[in-house]
Structure 1
Amino acid sequence: MRYLISCVKTLIIVAVLTLLSNFCIERSAFSQLSLTRNLNRPSYGPNILSDNASSQLPPVVKKRQCVWGPPPKKNVVPKIKLDPTKFLYPGIRAGPNNQMRQLLKVVHVAILLNRTLVVPNFYSHFSVGQQIVQPYQRVDVDRICSLVSCVTLETFQKVCNGTFHYVFLQNQDFNEKFYKTTAKDTGLSIRWPWDKPTNKFKSTSGPTVERIFPNKQLSLSEIKKYFDVPKPCALYPGHEDDMSFFYLKPSLPLPDVVEDISKLQEDDLKFAIMEEVGTLPHVIDDTALAYSQKVFKGDYVGVHWRYDDSDWARHCTVLGDPTCKNVKKISGKHIATAIHNDLQKFMTKFTQGINIYIAAPPSMSTFAQSIVTELKQLNSTFHIAPLTLEQFVTDKIDSCFKKNNWHFGDTLSLIEMALMQKSEYFYYSKSSTWSKNCQQRRWFVPQDGKLAVMKYEASIFDLSEAVLLGSS
Structure 2
Amino acid sequence: MTFRATLRSPYLYKSLMCATGICLIALHCYRDARTSSQISKRGHRLRYEGTSARCDINWNPLKIAITEYEDHQVRGPKNGKVFVRNYKKYGTIPRRPKFLFPLLHFGPNNQLIGLRESIFVAIRLNRTIVLPTFLKHRTDKQIKNNNSPLISPNHRIDLVKLCEFVSCVTVGEFRDICNYEIDGIIPLRKLSVARLRNLEKRIRMRIVPKNPDAYRKKFISSVGRHSRLHRFVSEEIVPRFKSQKRCVIYALPYKGLRASDRAMILHDKVMTKLMAENPLTDEENTLLSIIDHTQAPRYVMSIAREYIRRYFEDENFIAVHWRYNRKDFISRHFCNKDPITAKVCSTAKKFTALDFVYRIVEKKSYLKVRGTDVRHVYIASPKTERSFISDVSKMLRDKQGLAVLSSLHLEKFLSSNYKSCDFLVKTHLQDILSTIEMEVCRSATMFLRSIRSSWSENVAINRLISRNESWDRSNDSTIFAV
TM-score normalised by length of structure 2: 0.70
Partner residue in 2 for 1:290: 306
In 2, Cα distance between the equivalents of 1:289 and 1:183? 39
- Greater relative contact order structure (CA < 8 Å, 6+ sep): 1
In structure 1, what is the equivalent of residue 168 of structure 2? 150
Give the corresponding residue for 2:254.
240
Identity fraction in percent = 24
Which SS does the other structure have where 2:389 is aligned?
A: helix
Q: 1:159 aligns with which of 142, 154, 177?
A: 177
Query: Is the aligned partner of 1:389 residue 2:410?
Result: yes
SS at match of 2:439: helix
Alignment of 1:40-439 (within 5 A): 65-72=56-63, 85-128=97-140, 129=143, 131-170=149-188, 172-176=189-193, 178-191=195-208, 200-201=214-215, 209-210=218-219, 212-215=221-224, 216-241=230-255, 242-243=261-262, 245-247=266-268, 249=270, 265-277=282-294, 279-297=295-313, 298-314=315-331, 316-320=334-338, 321=341, 322-347=343-368, 349=371, 351=373, 354-382=375-403, 388-402=409-423, 406-439=427-460
Summarize the Cα distance change of 1:341–1:446 in structure 2 as closer, same or farther, 3 Å threshold: closer
Structure 2: 5+ residue stretches without partners? 1-44, 65-94, 225-229, 256-260, 275-280
Distance 2:404 2:155 in 1: 33
* Alignment CA distance shift 1:155-1:106 (3 Å): same
Determine if contact 1:50/1:403 at 8 Å carries over to the other structure: no
Question: Once the 2 structures are TM-superposed, how far is the Cα of residue 346 of structure 1 from its aligned partner?
Answer: 1.4
Mapped partners of 2:468, 2:446: distance in 1: 16
CA shift for structure 1 position 219: 2.6
Residue 456 of structure 1 aligns with which residue?
Answer: 475
The whole-number CA distance in structure 2 between the counterparts of 1:48 and 1:173 is 38
Native 8 Å contact 2:115 2:253 kept in 1: no
CA distance in 1: counterparts of 2:164 and 2:451, whole angstroms: 32
CA–CA separation in structure 2 for the residues paired with 1:156 and 1:395:
39
Describe the superposition over 1:236-281 as per-residue Cα deviations: whole angstroms up to 9, x where unpaired.
11333322544452799xxxxxxxxxxx81111111011112x001
Cα shift at 1:401: 4.5
What amino acid does structure 2 have at the position aligned with 1:454?
R
AA of the residue aligned to 2:248: A
Distance 2:101 2:49 in 1: 31
Quickly say closer, same or farther: Cα 1:95–1:177, change in 2 above 3 A: farther
The structure with more radius of gyration: 1
In structure 2, distance between residues paired with 1:447 and 1:293: 18
Distance 2:427 2:419 in 1: 9
Contact 2:131–2:153 (8 Å) recurs in 1:
yes
What whole-Å deviation, never above 9, does each CA across 1:118-161 have from its counterpart, x for those lacking one?
11000111123461111111111111111111111111111211
Q: Secondary structure at the match of 2:62?
A: coil
Contact 1:305 1:358 in 2 (8 A): yes
Three-state SS of the structure 2 residue aligned to 1:235 is: strand
Corresponding pairs, count: 377
Listed as ranges, the gaps of 5+ residues in structure 1 are 1-44, 58-64, 74-82, 203-207, 253-263, 466-472
Q: Which deviations, in whole Å up to 9, do the C-alpha atoms of 1:184-217 show, x marking residues without a partner?
A: 2222111179978xxx407xxxxx6345214352
1:441 aligns to 2:459 (yes or no): no
- The CA distance in 2 between the partners of 1:354 and 1:433, in whole Å, is 28
Query: Do the aligned partners of residues 49 and 85 (structure 1) sit closer, same or farther apart at CA in structure 2, a change above 3 Å counting?
Result: closer
Aligned to 1:470: none
Q: Retained in 1: the 8 A contact 2:446–2:473?
A: no
Between the aligned partners of 1:370 and 1:84, the Cα distance in structure 2 is 60
What is the deviation of 1:173? 1.4
- 2: CA distance between counterparts of 1:176 and 1:103? 24
Q: 1:88, 1:386 → 2: CA distance?
A: 36
- Name the CA shift for 1:195/1:390 in 2 (closer, same or farther; >3 Å): closer
Distance 2:223 2:48 in 1: 46
Q: Secondary structure at the match of 1:212?
A: coil
